[in-house]
Structure 1
Amino acid sequence: MHVVLAGGGTAGHIEPALALADALRRQNPNVGITALGTAKGLETKLVPARGYELALIPAVPLPRKPTPELMTVPGRLRGTIREAAAVLERTQASCLVGFGGYVALPGYLAAKRQGVPTVVHEANARPGLANKIGARYTRFVAVSTPDSKLRGARYIGIPLRRAIATLDRNALRDEARAMFGLDPMRPTLLVFGGSQGARRLNETLAATARQLLAEGVQVLHAAGPNNELKIDSPPGGPAYVVVPYLDRMDLAYAAADMVLCRAGAMTCAELAAVGLPAAYVPLPIGNGEQRLNAQPVVKAGGGLLVDDADLTPDWIRSSVLPVLTDARRLHDMGKAAAEFGRRDADEELVRMVHEAIAAARLPQ
């Protein structure tokens, strides 16, 4: 059995693919796995670091919406499809699993041409063009949200890293808070805005820090490697810990009682899975998909949602602080998030891979 993964470009495409790869290997250590990627994507670092083969093909960027530029795509795709097909042939692929991004569409088209069964996974609430097309060629389509518009899709969530999917926050809380220099008993707010930080979140928290600390709330804040943020904590009072980056998100989640963050698909899926209430601040640019990512868990009672323009010190004081200082409300929101979240999406996707392979073997 050999599975080819097509999901290069961004961490949002690569991490679910690698989580699936890990789940496949747990079930069958002998399964072959190859990831399609491009020379410029993050997969050049992430895939080899996890011990999987990476096969590079040329990138063919796709417009997010139907435009005149879309008419030029078939010509640019031909060579890329041939190279993707060569990978499928060389590996004798049993199945191709696509996650969207630059390499997914040539992967889908090459698989269709060669009769290789296909599975599609869409992490965002608003599917991209590659997955919209790929979903036409298979009935094995998985999505991250029950609100997905992909026809016939199966809601499974997003495959997560094992350290997150199996995280027991209560068991790790004391260790996690000790590692970050936090008090084991105080309510704790975790703030992060992606790997590079988020200026809006940084500025708003800096303006609100004094009141948070005065109310007994301690803060763990990942400001970003290129952002300078200095907050003075009162002697003997709650700590305001600023770090450039969090490379152990499992421990950061274990240390936290609530999170203030953007609303990327992976972030929403991870926080719901581990039962962490969050105040989601969708990016104000793009096609609005971050708001759509957060809406289901917020609707379920597991979080708050605020527009970037409305994230002010007053909003933190009126909306976030009352939650952090109310143990019952924190518990109820965390429980609602956990009930909505999915920890087993990787195993569900493995089952779909086997279903697709079995279906392809049936007489047509």
Structure 2
Amino acid sequence: MNDALRVVVAGGGTAGHISPMIAIADALRQVEPEIRITVVGTPDGLEARLVPEAGYELATIAKVPMPRRPSMDLLKLPFRFSAALKAAGAILDGTGAQAVLGVGGYVCTPVYLAARKRKLPIFVHEANARAGLANKVGARFATGVGAAFSTTGLRGAKVVGMPMRGFVANMDRAAQRGQAREALGFTEDAPALVVTGGSSGAASINATIAAGFEKLAGAGVQVLHITGRGKAVLDANGNPLAAPGYRQVEYVDSMNQAYAAADLMVARSGAGTVCELAVAGTPSVLVPLPIGNGEQRLNAADLVAAGGAMLVEDAFFTAEYLTETLLPLLKDAEALTAMGHAAKTQGKADAAAAMAEMIRHSLRGATPPQTTNTGS
């Protein structure tokens, strides 16, 4: 008799949701090789590409965002949400799901509510320092809640850290440095700066790097600029900006290589990025997103306090900041080494295994063997 577990995992939209979602799925598969995992996302998010690439089945439902002001979309909301709830229920019934795991995002609320209606155990992982609306809903009736930070306010949350795939969670930055630098086009004879605004890109960060890259390159700094999808930085002729010492790409699939290759990284302080920088031990300058509810500043707080990162407000991340603060730091190998060691003290590499154990223990009534290898 085949007693393989059947779990539905919900989330998506950005890499910040997708990466931990896949990491937990990998960890579940490691302790339950026959497990059947179905991922629920939207048809137009990054999950449409990344989930099948990771080897998981993707089922999609329509995104139902909450309108921020009175409009026709607000009037249509009850009908759209009802359709999403029905679609989520059909997925749970069709897969014979025994449990649901949600990591946040638009699709999670209908999946949580459909699971509750069917009396299925619900598990939640919250990646941000301040919980999102969907996970606030799910946590109210969840069997287990894991969090990357202690400040979420979710009832019963256990701080487990950020679930990461094995190639990040188990990476050895020093050992991988040479190969990673070669793969990303860096030489060994000059400081390497990696700049990223996350999977969606950051227009203000891109503009600052475009304005100051010549000074960095002129000082002997190599720059890899990850601009985000559709946000290429253009020159006066409308072509992607290119120059000696500077290279831009829209996306890097193997961010573990970026963490290993960089002497310093400039990034938004999304929860996933902050936690991965800590596990890798990569020094960073963090530029919190200036809009929203301030969670990115909270995400960065512990890493900055430990000395593993510097924080600069978006409005002050200027070309002058590059030359007056960032460039001297890049030239100070001793300071960068100290930052890397400090960052490493904040890393938690076994979060995916902890979430997998939480789910399996509930369904099997037994704790799986302890492991820190969360897949590849």
Q: Same fold (TM over 0.5)?
A: yes
CA distance 1:49–1:64, shift in 2 (3 Å): farther
Tell me which residue corresponds to 1:254: 260
**What's the offset of the Cα at 1:49?**
2.6
SS of alignment partner, residue 140 of structure 2: helix
Is 1:266 the counterpart of 2:272 in the alignment? yes
Task: Out of 80-89 and 150-159, give the one that drifted further.
Answer: 80-89
Is 1:313 the counterpart of 2:314 in the alignment? no
Is 1:23 the counterpart of 2:27 in the alignment? yes
Is 1:290 the counterpart of 2:325 in the alignment? no
Tell me which residue corresponds to 2:349: 343
Following the alignment from structure 1 to structure 2, what is the Cα–Cα distance between the partners of residues 344 and 218? 33
**What's the offset of the Cα at 1:139?**
4.6
* Partner AA of 2:198 in structure 1: G
Is 1:144 the counterpart of 2:163 in the alignment? no
**What's the offset of the Cα at 1:299?**
1.9
For normalisation by structure 2, the TM-score amounts to 0.84
Following the alignment from structure 2 to structure 1, what is the Cα–Cα distance between the partners of residues 161 and 6? 24
Tell me which residue corresponds to 1:59: 63
SS of alignment partner, residue 150 of structure 1: coil
Structure 1 stretches lacking a partner, 5+ long:
234-238
* Partner AA of 1:322 in structure 2: P
Following the alignment from structure 1 to structure 2, what is the Cα–Cα distance between the partners of residues 195 and 97? 23
Task: Out of 265-274 and 173-182, give the one that drifted further.
Answer: 173-182
Following the alignment from structure 2 to structure 1, what is the Cα–Cα distance between the partners of residues 295 and 249? 28
CA distance 1:57–1:214, shift in 2 (3 Å): closer
**What's the offset of the Cα at 1:253?**
1.7
The one of 275, 278, 292 equivalent to 2:284 is 278
| Deviation per residue, 1:137-183 (Å, 9 max, x gap) | 02511111122222321111221232222221211211222233322
Tell me which residue corresponds to 1:5: 9
**What's the offset of the Cα at 1:73?**
5.7
CA distance 1:76–1:246, shift in 2 (3 Å): closer
Following the alignment from structure 1 to structure 2, what is the Cα–Cα distance between the partners of residues 302 and 58? 40
CA distance 1:182–1:287, shift in 2 (3 Å): same
Following the alignment from structure 2 to structure 1, what is the Cα–Cα distance between the partners of residues 241 and 84? 48
**What's the offset of the Cα at 1:75?**
5.7
**Cα contact 2:14–2:199 (8 A) shared by 1:** no
Task: Out of 13-22 and 312-321, give the one that drifted further.
Answer: 312-321
| Deviation per residue, 1:89-109 (Å, 9 max, x gap) | 332322110111122111111
Tell me which residue corresponds to 1:236: none
**Cα contact 2:162–2:272 (8 A) shared by 1:** yes
* Partner AA of 1:59 in structure 2: K
**What's the offset of the Cα at 1:340?**
0.7
Is 1:301 the counterpart of 2:291 in the alignment? no
Is 1:170 the counterpart of 2:177 in the alignment? no
Following the alignment from structure 1 to structure 2, what is the Cα–Cα distance between the partners of residues 163 and 336? 21
Following the alignment from structure 1 to structure 2, what is the Cα–Cα distance between the partners of residues 145 and 46? 25
Is 1:109 the counterpart of 2:113 in the alignment? yes
Tell me which residue corresponds to 1:209: 213
* Partner AA of 2:98 in structure 1: S
Tell me which residue corresponds to 1:91: 95
CA distance 1:322–1:358, shift in 2 (3 Å): same
**What's the offset of the Cα at 1:301?**
1.6
Following the alignment from structure 1 to structure 2, what is the Cα–Cα distance between the partners of residues 64 and 335? 43
SS of alignment partner, residue 260 of structure 1: strand
SS of alignment partner, residue 29 of structure 1: coil
Q: Percent identity?
A: 47
| Deviation per residue, 1:205-248 (Å, 9 max, x gap) | 34433443454433222245532264644xxxxx3333443233
SS of alignment partner, residue 88 of structure 1: helix
**What's the offset of the Cα at 1:70?**
8.4
CA distance 1:88–1:330, shift in 2 (3 Å): same
| Deviation per residue, 1:188-213 (Å, 9 max, x gap) | 21112234543322332344334434
Say how many residue pairs are matched: 353
The one of 123, 131, 135 equivalent to 2:135 is 131
CA distance 1:281–1:56, shift in 2 (3 Å): same
**What's the offset of the Cα at 1:359?**
6.9
Structure 2 stretches lacking a partner, 5+ long:
235-239, 367-376
* Partner AA of 1:280 in structure 2: L
**What's the offset of the Cα at 1:63?**
5.5
Following the alignment from structure 1 to structure 2, what is the Cα–Cα distance between the partners of residues 248 and 172? 12
SS of alignment partner, residue 54 of structure 1: strand
Tell me which residue corresponds to 1:181: 185
Tell me which residue corresponds to 1:154: 158
For normalisation by structure 1, the TM-score amounts to 0.87
SS of alignment partner, residue 128 of structure 2: coil
SS of alignment partner, residue 241 of structure 1: strand
**Cα contact 1:323–1:329 (8 A) shared by 2:** yes
Following the alignment from structure 1 to structure 2, what is the Cα–Cα distance between the partners of residues 204 and 134? 39
**What's the offset of the Cα at 1:25?**
1.2
CA distance 1:11–1:175, shift in 2 (3 Å): closer
Following the alignment from structure 1 to structure 2, what is the Cα–Cα distance between the partners of residues 104 and 41? 14
RMSD across aligned C-alpha pairs, in angstroms? 2.7
SS of alignment partner, residue 66 of structure 2: coil
